[in-house]
Chain A
Amino acid sequence: MDQFRRKFLEEASDLLEQLEKVLLKIEKEDIVASHVEEIFRVMHTLKGNSSMFGYEAVSEFTHYLENIYDDIRKDELELSSQIISVTLSSVDHLRSILKDEKLEITSNKVNHENMMKAIKMLSSISNDTKALKEELKDNTNSEGASTWYVKFKPAKDIHRTGNNPLYFIDDLSQLGNVFTIADLSDVPELTEIDPQTCYITWHNFIYTKNEDDIRDIFLFADAQSELVVEKISDKDLLNSLKFSEDLKETAISNTIGLSIKNLLDKYSIPSQEESTQENELARNNHKTENVISSIRVSSNKVDEMMSLVSELVTAQARLNVLTQNTTDSKVSEITESIEKITRRIRDNSFSICLVPFETIVVRFQRLIRDLSTQLNKNVKFITEGTDTELDKNIIENLSDPILHILRNCLDHGIESENERTAKGKQAQGTILLKAFYTGSNVNIQITDDGKGIDFTRVKKKAEEKNLISKEAQLSEKEILNLIFLPGFSTAEKVTEISGRGVGMDVVKRQISDLRGEVDLISVPGKGTTLTIKLPLTLSIIDGLLVRISDTHYIIPLGVIEKCHEVTQEFIEEAFDDLLALDGERQPFINLRTEFCDTSTPPFLQQIIMVKSDDKKVGLIVDAIVGQYQAVLKPLGKLYKNIEIISGASILGDGTVALVLDTNKIIKEYSNSKMIIAI
């Protein structure tokens, strides 16, 4: 059973996410029957599965919740916002008790009791506790065995429900000594027999302990079947010679029914007859919803596959180099075909790692909902382009920074309702979260229509914190960028919401760890837009392969603006570390000098203009080899301090090319030298 537990937990967390999504949908839109139905179904599955896998607390908890939603879908209870709130907090609670099934953590235990109270209050079901445990009936009977008369007259169409009445009689014999008489008097003439109809009645006499055990055997018999279980005697009549003889006589009688009656009258003690009840049918139509058919694969396996694919790409590149000059047409044919297949495998596995942005959006909706209530702000949260796909490794690390940004939007950006009306704005604030593709990048944009960022206050704050000098002349853009400096926080007092010591500098760092960029635009009084620009994937980058002496480097293609070919003389004539290019004076970094290469530079050299954070700089290299799709490999621990190298890639001939992190290069450079901002 344990081997399925992990899967159960995964499934449970999916179910909870689904639940959260529906709940938030209900809150935003009108309550739709299909939503209630979906919530009910999730609860139902969760309840059933959790009890199967031994999560008693979860099962009990969801049982009550399920009851509530059962009442709602039967229109016996109205879905109030209170119920939704309680259900939402239940989602959180269930998440934590799924990790702590035995309620060993005190806070979980206390929480569980409180939540149970809240839910029981909402639940109108009275006979609920026994429902769960009904299955575990006490089947032990301390009394001794008795002789029972069991009459079983199956419904005529019993075969139609897939039952075989002979199995029942067979099972009965497992309980004890049994004597069965089959009454065939209802069987018609051969010509009139319908083979699908059951005409037989069985009269059984059995010596056994428990009536429940007998009834249990006929559990699946239809309500139309007749079942009589009667206690005749506390003694074992079947062992009595007289009774046995009477029985045998009855069995060969022409009127079995009547003979049985006489026999019972003779031996029986007073008894009561029970018949099963017939219930009215209730019909529930379940709304259908589309379900994507997919398989679940552990992310470790995907990661391993990706790493193998990158090995394959590298090996294939080497093969290409080896067979470049071959004259054997067969070899080059195979090489070409392997190249094609490799490319397809690479693209395919790359797409496997893509996850829609939607997967993390629920978290944001939840945050906005909870926070806006807490801060008493009226906010509409709109999401767009949630089907935009991103590498799963990026998605995983994206949720924290976005949560932080959204918190800031709500806490500092959106004004209170009164403030907004006073300014002539709509009382309800809007936060828009939008994801979209631009080239080989994915942009995530968070826009609010709040009060915007106060430039003078930001500047003052930066001066107070000695982040800039008082005399510094800064453009609006540069002032905005101050927000991303470590140790900057404009909140007058530390609030619980956004001033938790984690500043925008951390957000920026988290994003740049994902090789992404952050861009901030703010119009005072109108609102703020923050754009996160991310690569589609972390494992493969489009780069420009360049060379200095014998060493290869890769510069990410996305940051390159332009390439110039210049002579060594031109570079030597540079004045004040600035080169005149395109009629402008441009700063440059001679990578040859930076990497301490002392060999003689070639006559013609290349300047690659790269930009980062609105700054532009030329990188001088010996030669451009060409465009190259690099499989990024991390450098070992020993190199973790070398910030300007973000990784390495293995080239076709087996040599290593280092991938340059131009953002860091520019940053390091601009600390020592002046770089002109654009």
Chain B
Amino acid sequence: MIKTILIADDSESMRDVVSYTLVNAGYKVLAGTDGKDAMKYLDGSPIDLVVTDLHMPNMDGIELIKNIRSNPTYQYIPIIFLTTESQQNKKDEAKAAGATGWIVKPFVPEKLLATIQKVIR
């Protein structure tokens, strides 16, 4: 079955690169322009993975992760956040909110796919 990945990033070029990579790898991609926008896809339809940026207007990545975790349908889906922060505290904050893993920007498409395969098969 084709896996569905939801991405949330306020940067259009970032969304484009990530979706391009994922679609080419055979995933179905949904994209939100920020946390709030991404929430609209959480309507009960199946989502296998969420890839989110941390710093976004309206609703940041941490808030989005918390919201996803509080939704019984998506309580256990893997969530990967994109971050340029190499500082540990940001990672921990996201992990504490319920994130599964992270990818540090900049990344090459192969790295993104490899990380995604760490959490969904």
Interface set of A (CB-CB < 8 Å, partner B): 1, 4, 7-8, 11, 40-41, 44-45, 47-49, 51-53, 59, 131-132, 134-135, 159-164, 167, 171, 196, 217, 219-220, 222-223, 278-283, 286, 288-291, 293, 296
> Chain B's nearest CB lies how many Å from the CB of A330?
45
B93 touches A52 (CB 8 A): no
Instruction: Say if the beta carbon of B105 comes within 8 Å of chain A.
Output: yes
B118 touches A135 (CB 8 A): no
**Given A49-B11, A51-B105: A167 touches B119 (CB 8 Å cut-off):** yes
Residues of A within 8 A of B20 (CB): 4
Chain B 1-40 near chain A by CB (<8 Å), digits 1 or 0: 0000000001111101100100000000000011001000
Which of B12, B33, B37, B79 contacts A7 (CB under 8 A)?
B12
A8 touches B100 (CB 8 A): no
Centre residue among A11, A161, A281, A282 by max chain B CB count within 10 A: A161
Residues of A within 8 A of B99 (CB): 161-162
B100 touches A163 (CB 8 A): yes
Which of B11, B92, B121 contacts A11 (CB under 8 A)?
B11
B95 touches A291 (CB 8 A): no
A48 touches B84 (CB 8 A): yes
- How many angstroms from the CA of A6 to the CA of B53 in the assembled complex? 21
A49 touches B92 (CB 8 A): no
Known A11-B11, A45-B10; 16 more pairs at CB < 8 Å: A1-B17, A4-B13, A7-B12, A7-B13, A44-B84, A45-B14, A48-B11, A52-B14, A132-B86, A134-B86, A135-B104, A135-B107, A161-B79, A164-B119, A167-B118, A291-B57
Instruction: Say if the beta carbon of B106 comes within 8 Å of chain A.
Output: yes
B105 touches A288 (CB 8 A): no
- How many angstroms from the CA of A11 to the CA of B93 in the assembled complex? 28
- How many angstroms from the CA of A288 to the CA of B34 in the assembled complex? 11
Residues of A within 8 A of B118 (CB): 167, 171, 217, 219-220
26 contacts across the A-B interface (CB closer than 8 A): A7-B13, A8-B13, A11-B11, A40-B55, A41-B57, A44-B84, A48-B11, A52-B14, A52-B17, A131-B86, A131-B87, A134-B104, A135-B104, A160-B76, A160-B98, A161-B99, A162-B79, A163-B78, A164-B119, A219-B118, A220-B100, A220-B102, A283-B93, A288-B59, A291-B57, A293-B37
Chain A residue, CB-CB nearest to B96: A281
- How many angstroms from the CA of A164 to the CA of B101 in the assembled complex? 12
Chain B 69-111 near chain A by CB (<8 Å), digits 1 or 0: 1000001111100101011110011011011111011110000
Chain B 44-70 near chain A by CB (<8 Å), digits 1 or 0: 000000000001111110010000010
A52 touches B105 (CB 8 A): yes
B13 touches A160 (CB 8 A): no
Chain B residue, CB-CB nearest to A5: B13
B78 touches A162 (CB 8 A): yes
Chain A residue, CB-CB nearest to B69: A160
> Chain A's nearest CB lies how many Å from the CB of B84?
4
> Chain A's nearest CB lies how many Å from the CB of B28?
18
> Chain B's nearest CB lies how many Å from the CB of A225?
11
- How many angstroms from the CA of A296 to the CA of B11 in the assembled complex? 13
A162 touches B76 (CB 8 A): yes
> Chain B's nearest CB lies how many Å from the CB of A536?
30
A49 touches B13 (CB 8 A): yes
Residues of A within 8 A of B11 (CB): 11, 45, 48-49
**Given A135-B86, A288-B58, A291-B34: A161 touches B12 (CB 8 Å cut-off):** no
A161 touches B100 (CB 8 A): yes
Which of A7, A279, A288 contacts B89 (CB under 8 A)?
A279
Chain B residue, CB-CB nearest to A164: B119
- How many angstroms from the CA of A287 to the CA of B93 in the assembled complex? 18
- How many angstroms from the CA of A220 to the CA of B14 in the assembled complex? 23
Residues of B within 8 A of A161 (CB): 78-79, 95, 98-100
Residues of B within 8 A of A163 (CB): 78, 100-101, 119
- How many angstroms from the CA of A135 to the CA of B58 in the assembled complex? 29
B55 touches A44 (CB 8 A): yes
Interface set of B (CB-CB < 8 Å, partner A): 10-14, 16-17, 20, 33-34, 37, 55-60, 63, 69, 75-79, 82, 84, 86-89, 92-93, 95-96, 98-102, 104-107, 118-119, 121
A289 touches B96 (CB 8 A): no
A282 touches B93 (CB 8 A): yes
Residues of A within 8 A of B102 (CB): 220
> Chain B's nearest CB lies how many Å from the CB of A413?
40
- How many angstroms from the CA of A421 to the CA of B20 in the assembled complex? 63
Residues of B within 8 A of A290 (CB): 58
> Chain B's nearest CB lies how many Å from the CB of A222?
7
B119 touches A162 (CB 8 A): yes
Residues of B within 8 A of A289 (CB): 57-58
- How many angstroms from the CA of A196 to the CA of B69 in the assembled complex? 14
A222 touches B95 (CB 8 A): yes
- How many angstroms from the CA of A286 to the CA of B12 in the assembled complex? 20
B60 touches A286 (CB 8 A): yes
Chain A residue, CB-CB nearest to B54: A44
- How many angstroms from the CA of A569 to the CA of B55 in the assembled complex? 80
**Given A220-B118, A286-B60: A47 touches B93 (CB 8 Å cut-off):** no
- How many angstroms from the CA of A134 to the CA of B63 in the assembled complex? 26
A281 touches B93 (CB 8 A): yes
A49 touches B14 (CB 8 A): yes
Residues of B within 8 A of A280 (CB): 89
A162 touches B77 (CB 8 A): yes
Centre residue among B12, B37, B88 by max chain A CB count within 10 A: B12
B101 touches A220 (CB 8 A): yes
Residues of B within 8 A of A59 (CB): 106
- How many angstroms from the CA of A487 to the CA of B47 in the assembled complex? 69
> Chain A's nearest CB lies how many Å from the CB of B92?
4
- How many angstroms from the CA of A171 to the CA of B12 in the assembled complex? 33
List 5 tightest A-B contacts by C-beta distance, closest first.
A162-B78, A220-B101, A162-B100, A51-B106, A48-B105
> Chain B's nearest CB lies how many Å from the CB of A7?
5
**Given A52-B105, A281-B92: A288 touches B55 (CB 8 Å cut-off):** no
**Given A52-B107, A162-B100: A288 touches B57 (CB 8 Å cut-off):** yes
Residues of B within 8 A of A45 (CB): 10-11, 14, 55
Residues of A within 8 A of B78 (CB): 161-163
B17 touches A4 (CB 8 A): yes
Which of A4, A219, A220, A278 contacts B16 (CB under 8 A)?
A4
Residues of B within 8 A of A7 (CB): 12-13, 16
